[in-house]
C-alpha cells in the first residue's frame, strides 16, 4: 500500500508541477478540469447514481468548467460566487454534519447530485483563478490544507483525546484540529518571510491578506481556512459513510479517488478567493 501511494503521488506531481511553472495557466487548467470531472463521476457514484448517470455527471461538470473558461467570467469579478460558496460551506456544511449521514442519504438523489457538482465546480473555478493569479499564490493556498492535515495527523496521534466527530470520522480529534491550526500559522510566518526576501511570480495568500487587512485579521483568516478544511474532510467522510464506501473510487491507487484528495480543498479554495476580495 505504501509503495502504491508513493508511486501515485510521484506521478501526480510529475504531471501537475510542470504546469504550475509554465508561463501560461492553460495546461494546468486543462489537466485539473479532467481531474475534477473524475471527481464529479465519483460524487455521482457515491450518491446512488447508476454507472451511466455517473459518467454523464462527470461530463456535465467538465462542460460547465469549459463553458466558464470560454465565457465572460474568465476576466470578470467572481467575488459574489466565492462568497456564496463560502456561506454554503460554513453554514450548510455545519448543518449537514449535524444532521449526519442517515439524513443525508434521505435527500433526493438529484438534490445531492446538484449540491456536489456545484461545490466541485466552484472549487475548480477558484483553483483556476488562483493559478491565474500566480503559482506562489496557488501553492500557498494548497499548502494550508496539506500542512493542516499533516500537523493534525501527528498532533492527533501524540495528544489526541477528545473525538471530533466519532460518528463520521472516528480518527479525528480536537487536539489534532488545534495542532493543524498551529501548523498553518507557522506556515504563514515562514511564507511571508520568504515573500519578503525572494522575488516570486506573485504574493502568497498570507502576504496579500496581511497587506489588505493587517496582521491579526490575516492570522484569524488563516485559522478560519484551516477550520473549513476540516469541514470539507468531514463532509466527504459523511457522504462516504452514507454510501457505505471506504474510498470515493480506486482511480488513484493507494490514495482512493480524486475526491479523497480534494475534499479539504473544496471549501478552502473558494473561501480563500473570497477573502482576497475584501
Q: What is the pLDDT of residues 7-37, one digit of tens each?
A: 777 788 788 888 888 888 889 999 999 999 9
Please give the DSSP secondary-structure letter assigned to residue 245.
-
Q: Is the model's pLDDT at 194 over the cut of 90?
A: yes
Please give the DSSP secondary-structure letter assigned to residue 250.
S
The verdict on pTM exceeding 0.85 is yes
Residue spans of the domains in the chain: they are 2-276
Question: Can you tell me the distance from the alpha carbon of 278 to that of 270, in angstroms, rounded to the nearest whole number?
Answer: 13
pLDDT, position 69 = 84
3-state helix, strand, coil in the chain (%, to 5): 80, 5, 15
Q: What is the pLDDT of residues 153-183, one digit of tens each?
A: 999 888 878 998 888 888 889 999 999 999 9
52 bridge partner residues: none
209: left (phi over 0), alpha (psi -120 to 50) or beta: alpha
DSSP states of 201-219: SS--HHHHHHHHH-HHHHH
Q: What is the pLDDT of residues 32-86, one digit of tens each?
A: 999 999 999 999 999 877 888 999 999 999 999 998 888 766 555 788 999 999 9
Residue 60, helix vs strand vs coil:
helix
Number of DSSP helices (H) and strands (E) in the chain, helices first? 12, 2
Question: Can you tell me the distance from the alpha carbon of 85 to that of 272, in angstroms, rounded to the nearest whole number?
Answer: 11
Residues of the chain above pLDDT 90, percent: 61
Residue 251, helix vs strand vs coil:
coil
pLDDT, position 72 = 65
Amino acid at each position: 500500500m505504501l509503495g502504491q501511494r508513493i508511486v501515485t503521488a510521484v506521478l501526480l506531481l510529475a504531471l501537475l508541477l510542470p504546469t504550475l511553472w509554465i508561463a501560461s495557466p492553460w495546461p494546468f487548467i486543462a489537466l485539473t478540469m479532467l481531474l475534477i470531472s473524475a471527481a464529479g463521476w465519483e460524487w455521482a457514484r457515491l450518491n446512488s447514481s447508476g454507472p451511466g448517470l455517473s459518467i454523464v455527471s462527470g461530463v456535465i461538470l467538465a462542460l460547465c468548467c469549459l463553458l466558464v473558461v470560454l465565457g465572460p467570467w474568465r476576466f470578470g469579478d467572481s467575488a459574489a460566487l466565492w462568497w456564496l460558496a463560502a456561506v454554503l460551506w460554513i453554514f450548510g456544511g455545519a448543518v449537514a454534519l449535524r444532521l449526519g449521514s442517515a439524513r443525508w442519504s434521505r435527500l433526493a438523489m438529484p438534490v445531492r447530485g446538484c449540491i456536489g457538482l456545484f461545490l466541485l465546480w466552484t472549487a475548480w473555478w477558484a483553483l483556476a483563478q488562483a493559478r491565474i493569479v500566480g503559482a506562489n499564490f496557488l501553492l500557498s493556498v494548497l499548502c494550508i490544507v496539506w500542512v493542516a492535515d499533516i500537523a493534525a495527523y501527528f498532533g492527533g496521534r501524540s495528544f489526541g483525546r477528545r473525538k471530533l466527530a466519532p460518528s463520521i470520522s472516528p480518527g479525528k480529534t480536537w487536539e489534532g484540529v488545534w495542532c493543524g491550526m498551529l501548523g498553518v500559522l507557522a506556515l504563514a510566518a515562514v511564507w511571508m518571510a520568504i515573500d519578503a526576501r525572494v522575488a516570486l511570480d506573485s504574493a502568497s495568500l498570507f502576504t496579500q491578506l496581511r497587506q489588505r487587512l493587517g496582521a491579526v485579521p490575516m492570522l484569524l483568516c488563516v485559522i478560519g481556512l484551516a477550520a473549513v478544511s476540516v469541514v470539507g474532510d468531514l463532509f466527504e467522510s459523511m457522504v462516504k459513510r452514507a454510501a457505505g464506501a471506504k474510498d470515493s473510487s480506486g482511480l488513484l491507487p493507494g490514495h482512493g479517488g480524486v475526491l479523497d484528495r480534494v475534499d479539504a480543498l473544496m471549501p478552502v479554495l473558494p473561501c480563500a478567493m473570497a477573502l482576497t476580495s475584501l
